[in-house]
Amino acid sequence: MKFKLFVYLGFLILATLPVAVFAQSGSQQPELFENAELQEDLNYFTAVFRSIHPKPYWYLPTEEFDTTLIQFRTELPDTASVTEFYSSLLPFINKIGDENTRVYFPAFVLADYIQKEGAFFPFLIQIIDNEIFITENLLPGNTIPQGAKISAINGIGATRILKKMQQMIPDQKETLQQSEIIENFSLLLWTAFQFDAPYELSIRLPQEGIIHTYNVDGVPAEKLGITSGNENKTLTNDFGFSVDQNRNFATVRITSYSSHPELKKFLSDAFSQIKKSGVDHVILDIRNLKSDDFAFPDAVLQYVTTTPYRHYAAIEAKSSPMTKSFYRNNYAQQKKHDLKFVRDKKTVRKAYRMVLKGIDYASVYYAPEVKKPFKGGQEFPGEFYLLVNEGTKNSATVLAAIVQDHKLGLVIGKETGSRASRFRELYHFSLPNTGIECTVPHRYYLRPSSFDSGFGVLPDYTVDPDPTDIAQGKDSMIEFAAGLFKKREGFREKRAAYEKRINKK
């Protein structure tokens, strides 16, 4: 696994961790907070949420939010530990339905487990039709193959496991919840059920009807890239390209990258060599790419199109004393970073200034202009396909929306793991008494088509993983794309002939 997952920055949801586990992490009894302190924390969260969030009632209507808040307030106990308060607060926050409005469990609980050399579930998985399949075995020498179906873990059925995990994730589209489960399955399994190694697995092997029982060890946290605390996120370069001369296409794969300059260098080298190869078609594979790099779409698109485009139809924020203070201080550094790499520098400046100059508690908007790619861009003679799945998130989802809405190519695969129109750019804060860490997004981005369905980017051609292909190590999406190139060649030739006739007129 070439990427790292971080508790503080990610969506680790230690929601159902019992108080007993918390108490065992240290010799002292957990501190108890009075009802008045819990009420103050709740009021503080609500005030920040309403002051910062551009559309606080976008997914949960105002009346329902207020009713839920009142009910939660009346149910607060006389006293509670930070763990108890967190566990009761989480369902309320999750009901808001925004993937980036979050509360985070104190990271020292996980840190204590890791320090004691606790082990985690040793498989990467895929969910197909609400069933769990193994896609990668992280145990050396273990014989359980790719494509094996997990029927139960430690006697708990797969359906129950998935249902429990869904309760730990913000209310949103089922496909988006599923993407979070796939990405964090081992960690969520530990969180929800406190499973430790060894694990007893009920497994159905590929092309067999018999269920086998296996006892397997776990793997250490670093094997899965799991760490605790608020460390800075680090990524390694996991990208590459290949040329299939026989089938006349090249594939560029980007799963992660350590920095924007590293990405630029790779893209320049890769597309230079692809051009020299003489192939007509290009596949860009951004499956499982979770990029927070705002400049990622621009870096890629200059090599595959000359068509002008924009990232978003509109950007919305809320101007308030809290957001103004945040923009003047903490967020100023983010603006400097974006200005260094993005193509549309005017949008960066406008989105920043509109908050500072806005009327308090009023929404402010900016509609970015359509602009050409860097250096005018370039094109290939054939077609451009983009491969996505539930692991395609954040700026990678932005790229998918641009490609689809501006008709720069075809999107193939599964729905992206982030919404196409979404709330992002996070404001971090802590509750004053319990110290629980929280985030609220301070901007809303509307996809280029100006349509917000609440879904991720839905592919033009849906290709679901096939258990048989997984078992055989076959890439269903690549094979589908290769077949589609061939099928559409006749159409492309007819289109070129038609455009030639039109140009002569």
Match 């006892």 to its residue by tokens: 215
Tokens of 138: 């992280």
Q: Which 3 state secondary structure label does DSSP give 365?
A: strand
Q: Whole-angstrom Cα distance, residue 111 to residue 232?
A: 16
Residue 244 in contact with residue 482, Cβ under 8 Å? yes
Q: What are the angstrom distances between the C-alpha of 79 and each of 12, 29, 71?
A: 26, 14, 17
Four-CA torsion 274, 278, 279, 281, nearest 10 degrees: 70
Which 3-state string (H, E, C) describes 450-500?
CCCCCCECCCCEECCCCHHHHHHCCCHHHHHHHHHHHHHHHHHHHHHHHHH
| pLDDT at residue 228 in the model | 65
Verify cis geometry, omega within 30 degrees of 0, for the bond prior to 198: yes
N- to C-terminal Cα separation, the chain: 56
- The residue extents of the domains of the chain are 5-114, 120-225, 235-310+375-420+455-505
| pLDDT at residue 245 in the model | 95
| pLDDT at residue 505 in the model | 63
Tokens of 500: 């030639």
What is the CATH T-level fold of the domain 235-310+375-420+455-505, as seen in this structure?
Answer: 2-enoyl-CoA Hydratase; Chain A, domain 1 (3.90.226)
Element (H, E) at 39: helix 35-52
pLDDT in tens, 281-305: 999 999 999 998 889 999 999 999 9
CB atoms within 10 A of CB 245: 10
| pLDDT at residue 172 in the model | 66
| pLDDT at residue 234 in the model | 63
Per-residue pLDDT of the chain (505 residues; tens, 9 = 90+): 333 333 333 334 444 343 334 444 444 567 899 999 999 999 999 999 999 999 999 999 999 999 999 999 999 999 998 878 888 888 889 889 898 999 887 777 778 888 888 899 999 999 988 999 999 999 988 789 889 999 999 999 999 999 888 877 876 677 778 888 998 899 889 878 878 889 999 999 887 888 999 999 999 988 888 776 545 556 788 999 999 999 999 999 999 998 999 999 999 999 999 999 999 999 999 999 999 888 999 999 999 999 999 999 999 999 999 999 988 888 877 788 778 777 888 888 888 889 888 898 888 999 998 999 998 999 988 899 999 998 899 999 999 999 999 999 999 999 998 999 999 889 999 999 999 999 999 999 999 999 998 899 999 999 987 777 777 778 999 999 999 998 887 776 777 777 777 777 6
Task: Find all residues with CB under 8 Å of 349, minimum gap 6, and list them.
Answer: 335, 339
Match 């603006």 to its residue by tokens: 335
Tokens of 284: 């860009």
Tokens of 260: 């924007």
Q: Whole-angstrom Cα distance, residue 81 to residue 22?
A: 10
Q: Structure pTM?
A: 0.80
Match 């594939």 to its residue by tokens: 251
Residue 279 in contact with residue 251, Cβ under 8 Å? no
- The CATH H-level superfamily of 120-225 is PDZ domain (2.30.42.10)
CB atoms within 10 A of CB 421: 25
Which 3-state string (H, E, C) describes 163-230?
HHHHCCCCCCCHHHHHHHHHHCHHHHHHHHHCCCCCEEEEEECCCCCCEEEEEECCECHHHCCEECCC
| pLDDT at residue 229 in the model | 55
Residue 140 in contact with residue 216, Cβ under 8 Å? no
Residues linked to residue 410 through DSSP beta bridges, in sequence order: 385
Tokens of 87: 């566990």
Q: Whole-angstrom Cα distance, residue 1 to residue 224?
A: 7
Tokens of 65: 């939010």
3-state percent breakdown (helix, strand, coil) of the chain, nearest 5: 40, 25, 40
| pLDDT at residue 282 in the model | 96
Residue 250 in contact with residue 241, Cβ under 8 Å? yes
| pLDDT at residue 487 in the model | 86
CA 34 to chain centre: 37
Four-CA torsion 182, 187, 191, 195, nearest 10 degrees: 100
Task: Find all residues with CB under 8 Å of 338, minimum gap 6, and list them.
Answer: 294, 295, 348
Residue 362: HSE in the Cβ half-sphere, 13 Å Cα cutoff: 9
